Amino acid sequence: MNMSSAVASSPRLRWRNPSVLPGFGLTLGFTLFYLSVVVLVPLTALLLKPWTLGWDGVVSVVTEPRVLHALKLSFGGAAIAAIVNAVFGLLLAWTLVRYEFPLKRFVDALIDLPFALPTAVAGIALSALYAENGWVGGPLSGLGLKIAYTPLGVIVALIFIGLPFVVRTLEPVLADMSLDAEEAASTLGATRFQILRRVVLPALVPALITGTTLAFARAVGEYGSVIFIAGNLPMKSEIAPLLIIIKLQQFDYAGAAAIGLVMLLASFLIILALNLLQSAFAARR
């Protein structure tokens, strides 16, 4: 903190902070090389590919009603799933950090399952559960609620894969939070709700936004688990990644890349906005 303010106040513009650690050139060089190979080169290929269609070609691909609908479902579904995960992930993280109960370690390990399970396995398991002859889908369809093979099924799958992101981001923050502030608030006469609203939640919001953003980002591009439960009907339950696959099957690489590019840009803008929001919250504290 002191260092950076010193730099900011010094009249000479310096491109790096002096550091007592040696090896800056080597590590920065490796970082740039690694990022280029792993992230930038594939992304550049994606950025360049669609333009073989020309501007009009790209626009006509991504404004097709079917593509627009699929994008809406992928982003809308991911947003709903992320919000659901934010609420219940917070609850889960709170329970796991603040209380002691038998089998706590076991429950804690369960949270990671969606990370570890191959997505196709998750998709098949979910569709078996939520189909009309499944354990969950059967009783629900008796109530007139169909989940598998509808857009609701998409959201269920996205909630499943996104949950660990929220819980795992919140847990360390919650664990680090000392009880002092809450106790102090209590001695100053704050009600329980006031403590929650004014002391606990503000400390958690930046991490909550980060976790929700991660869950959202993961869900937007999710293919494997969704495809088995979605039904995949055009204009109804077809997700954008499936349209990309369909285009690839038809050897339409440029068309596939055009949809990919739109998804990339939209995700980038949304994640950027969420990050700005997060740093705004962090700065206010």
Partner 1 sequence: MKKLHALVAAAALLVSGAAQAANVTLLNVSYDPTRELYKNVNAAFVAEWKAKTGDSLTINQSHGGSGSQARAVIDGLDADVVTLALAYDIDAIAQKAQLLPANWQKRLPDNSTPYTSTIVFLVRKGNPWKIKDWGDLVKPGVHVITPNPKTSGGARWAYLAAWAYAEKKPGGNAAAAKAFVREVYKHVPVLDSGARGSTITFTKRGIGDVLLSWENEAHLALQENPGQFEIVYPSSSILAEPPVALVDKNVDRHGTRKVAEAYLQFLYTRKAQEIEAQNFYRPRDKAVLAAHAKDFPEIKLYTIDDLFGGWTKAQATHFADGGVFDQIYKPGK
List of residues contacting partner 1 (CB under 8 A)? 65-66, 127-128, 131-134, 148-149, 227-228, 231-235, 242, 245-252, 255
Whose Cβ is closer to partner 1: residue 42's or residue 172's? 42
CA 268, 273, 278, 282 torsion-angle sign: positive
In the bound complex, what is the minimum distance in angstroms from residue 259's beta carbon to partner 1? 12
Residue nearer to partner 1 on the CB measure, 124 or 264:
124
Q: Which is nearer to partner 1, 216 or 228 (CB)?
A: 228
* Dihedral, 89, 97, 279, 72 alpha carbons, nearest 10: -10
Give the shortest CB-65-to-partner 1 separation in angstroms: 5
Report the nearest approach of partner 1 to the CB of residue 178 (Å).
Answer: 51
Q: Concatenate the DSSP letters of all residues of 13-81 into one string.
A: --SS---SSS-HHHHHHHHHHHHIIIIIHHHHHHHHGGGGGHHHHHHHHHTSHHHHHHHHHHHHHHHHH
In the complex, minimum distance from the CB of residue 148 to partner 1, in angstroms, rounded to a whole number: 7
Distance of closest approach, residue 134 Cβ to partner 1, in angstroms:
8
By beta-carbon proximity to partner 1, the closer residue of 167 and 259 is 259
Given the complex with partner 1, which of 153 and 211 has the nearer CB atom?
A: 153
- C-alpha span between 169 and 163 (Å, rounded): 10
**Helices 201-220 and 65-98, packing angle to 10 deg:** 140
